Amino acid sequence: MYRLPRLPIAAVSVACLTLSLPMTARDARAQDADPLPAKRDTTLRVPNTEAGEFTPGAGFNIISTKRGSLNVSFYGLFRYINQMPSGQFFVDHLGQVRPVNPRNDVNWHRTMIWLTGWFHDPRFRYNITGWSLPTTQQTLIFGNLQYLASNTFNFGVGIAPSLTARSLQGSWPYWAASDRQMATEFFRGGFSSGIWMTGLLANRLTYNVSITNNISELGVTQANDTRDLFYSGSLRWQPTTGEFGARNGFGDFEYHTKAATQFGVSMGQGRVNRAAPLDQAPNATQIKLSDSVNPFELGALAPGATVIDLKYQELAADAGVKYRGFAFEGEYYFRTLMHFEADRPVPPNAIYDNGFMAEASYMVLRRKLMVYTVGGYVFDQFRRFPWEAGGGMNYYPSDTRSWRLNLHLLHVNKSPVQSFFSYYNGGQTGTIFSLGIDILL
């Protein structure tokens, strides 16, 4: 049985780090990165160093004056998804029979609209984001402010990711498919209001540290917050070329003639509260047990018991390589849920889970057609051992990553993920088929 090391808050904030700090053209040349392709992808005109799901496309410059600038860009995804077979049930770790409600629907799944630019000083950046998920009838407007002091120190406030997985740190939406894989979705944290610092720690080594209100503020209002904060950080090293393609995304769309490599480590920890009175359903929904049950539900860990809060601690290590159209990316996760506070005793002192995601891809037709395979596995304390395997293909009509047609096919066994944001339904065993089209401008 493994245990994550006990780290003081200061160590977590300083020793764990990452980022998506874009390098200037001069930096890239100095580090022998591959030259930019003749036809460039949509990319950000005004860098957003915190990234996550808040990195806009190139968009359209609306205003540019001595006092500031305004750029408008957007992202949209339409998707068909079919989770099979229908009419399923699964047995959770306490032996309770629970229903599975597989989906079969078409939806305009996600919209992002960004207003970005600088104000007063080009180093002072703003990003206002409109986010909508029609599948759950959720719409939010949020933002962040950043001050780019130097290559080493950049500061920001606003909505930010908890730095618990590489996919939260700028690669979206340049993944194999349009959403995260099972293991990443299970282990990762979410997004919340906070402060951060990021930059170059050394040549080709970047860092990011952040402090946020909680692990995820989706569904959690300020009135539900406790005094406990969430601490996370990450390191990212790109030793061979000093870059990893547009947005550090997955797949070798750029066709590297020199192998591009990336290695990283991410970590997050903090106490997580159910964010609701005991007689109400929990508002905190980011964390799931390996049977997809919310640990804050009544009876989730023991009959009749309700967990009020717990300590979450997670560590992830990732690696990737791209060369001549081939690419491989993988990440391994360790997660501990412990120090449970409940209205009555619950049996486990701690719950230890670990697992991985991996994907490999190849550009069959350069800048046109990618094929890929994906997989993931969770070694969980409840010995359910969820896993997935599958693959798909991407077709790029405009010869850029900015417009994609995606076919995605998976077999999943005992899904630990329950989320309308992603491909997965809690407890499902069966096939997931999806067709999607997305655009980033």
Whether 182 is in a domain gets the answer yes
- Rounded CA gap, 229 and 12, in Å? 13
Percent of the chain with pLDDT over 70: 88
Q: Cα 390–166–251 angle (5° rounding)?
A: 50
Number of domains in the chain: 1
Asked if 372 contacts 329 with a C-beta cutoff of 8 angstroms, the reply is no
- Rounded CA gap, 395 and 436, in Å? 11
Residue 389 φ then ψ, to 5°: -150, 145
At residue 358, does pLDDT exceed 70? yes
- Rounded CA gap, 425 and 417, in Å? 6
At residue 7, does pLDDT exceed 50? no
Residue 49's pLDDT is what? 52
Percent of the chain with pLDDT over 90: 79
- Rounded CA gap, 26 and 11, in Å? 33
H-helix or E-strand spanning residue 185: helix 182-187
Q: Which of 337, 298, 341 is nearest to 314 (CA)?
A: 337
Residue 50's pLDDT is what? 54
Whether 196 is in a domain gets the answer yes
Q: Find the distance separating the first CA and the last CA of the chain, reported in whole Å.
A: 47
Instruction: Tell me the pLDDT band of 134, cut-offs 50, 70 and 90.
Output: confident
Alpha-carbon dihedral angle through residues 288, 291, 294, 300, given to the nearest 10 degrees:
-140
Whether 184 is in a domain gets the answer yes
Q: How much is the average pLDDT of 16-32?
A: 34
- Boundaries of domain holding 46: 9-440
- Rounded CA gap, 164 and 406, in Å? 27
Residue 6's pLDDT is what? 47
Whether 3 is in a domain gets the answer no
Global pTM exceeds 0.75: yes
Whether 1 is in a domain gets the answer no
Amino acid at residue number 330: G
**CATH number of the domain within which 137 lies:** 2.40.160.10
Whether 4 is in a domain gets the answer no
Whether 2 is in a domain gets the answer no
| Backbone region of residue 198 per phi and psi (left: phi > 0; alpha: psi in -120 to 50; beta: other values) | beta
Whether 213 is in a domain gets the answer yes
Residues 300-350: tens digit of each pLDDT: 999 999 999 999 999 999 999 999 999 999 999 999 999 999 999 998 789
Residue 124's pLDDT is what? 93
Which of 42-56, 205-219, 251-265 bottoms out in mean pLDDT, i.e. has the lowest?
A: 42-56
- Rounded CA gap, 315 and 354, in Å? 9
CA distance readout (Å), 397 to 24, 99, 236, 307: 28, 40, 32, 50
Residues 43-87: tens digit of each pLDDT: 444 454 555 667 888 889 999 999 999 999 999 999 999 999 998
